[in-house]
Chains A and B, each alone.
Chain A
Amino acid sequence: MGSIVARKRSGTCEQSCSPRSNVTATASCALIRSVVTYNQMVVDQLPTDEEIDRIFHALADSTRRDILGQAIAGDLSVSALARRYEMSFAAVQKHVAVLERATLVTKERRGREQIVHSNGTTIRTAMTLLDRYEQLWIDRINQIADLLEKPEGAN
């Protein structure tokens, strides 16, 4: 009910994404899946042609592919990315902005840092974790219900 996964539409990507493929290809597949999932969740539709153009434009650059791969692996700050690529902060910002317009990443201000999240992946991970907390509370509630039935009883 609550868990949301990419359904049939992501099938073509799955087939071309073997776990042994190279890092960039894996990241690209992961992000396409992310976008599909994100769109299904948020607006419940596939990306439009225009959106797909923006995605492919964003992915046409190796630095941006790498930034996206980093963001999928875990949230990163713009300044950490700038150090990593020995690039100016502004240059990284521009790359991130292209990824943002393609809805592949989102930026969040955290204190003085700007954190880059990969879009669908973060939400999907959060949903999976929320599912597990839900199960944890269902188990706890069952234990409480048992306790209430025999409050003074043996252990």
Chain B
Amino acid sequence: MTVTSTTKDAERLTLTVVTEFNAAPQKVWEVWENPRMLERWWGPPTYPATFTRHEFVEGGEARYHMTGPEGDTPPGWWQFQSIDPHRAITFNHGIAGGDGEPVPGEPPVLTEVTLEPSESGTRMAVEMSFHDTAQMEALLQMGMSEGLTLAVGQIDELLSTTSV
């Protein structure tokens, strides 16, 4: 596996990561399609994800929560916008409220995944389009224990004191 390229656009708030896997697109597709496999990579090892719903069809919904070291279980959701088998998945993704459901009025992150056959097996591109930095910050905090979390203000402070 190699991450072949990353593109970050700080004005449009998009991130694109392109990688190559030594496996056929059908195999890579499974890690998205099968919730039991998805659970083994979506969350960091300290915050594994559990998908309680995973309707892998266009318009389908997914619900999950992560489980932190302190037993906290921040919930999230996906909604599949489009699914082109073995080729592409587009879904909206957001933080859920206390009831595990999307919070009305909160803008989602759009994630577009494309798979294509390559020499090594599969080339996978993931593009995330964010709404604003507050959303980026909130979503990042989902998979982090309190101790590791830096608020935006703290990041700024850190940067301003270490940037010389």
Residues of chain A touching chain B, judged by Cβ–Cβ distance below 8 Å, are 2, 5-8, 10-11, 14, 17, 19, 30, 33, 41, 73, 75, 121-134, 136-148, 151, 155
**Chain B residues near A131 (CB, 8 Å)?**
8
Closest chain-A Cβ to B13's Cβ sits at a distance in Å of: 6
Residues of A within 8 Å of B159, CB to CB, are 5, 124, 128
Tell me which residues across on chain B come within 8 A of A5, comparing CB atoms: 159, 162-163
Interface string of B1-39 (1 = CB under 8 A from A): 101001011110101010101110001101100000100
> What is the size, in residues, of chain B's interface with A at 8 Å between Cβ atoms?
43
Contacts of A141 in B (CB 8 A): 1, 3, 17, 19, 124
Sample 16 A-B pairs with CB under 8 A, ordered by A number: A2-B8, A5-B159, A14-B160, A14-B161, A123-B10, A126-B133, A127-B8, A129-B155, A133-B136, A134-B17, A136-B140, A141-B124, A145-B1, A148-B27, A151-B30, A151-B37
Q: How far is the CA of A146 from the CA of B31 in the complex (A)?
A: 11
A121 to B163, CA, bound (A): 13
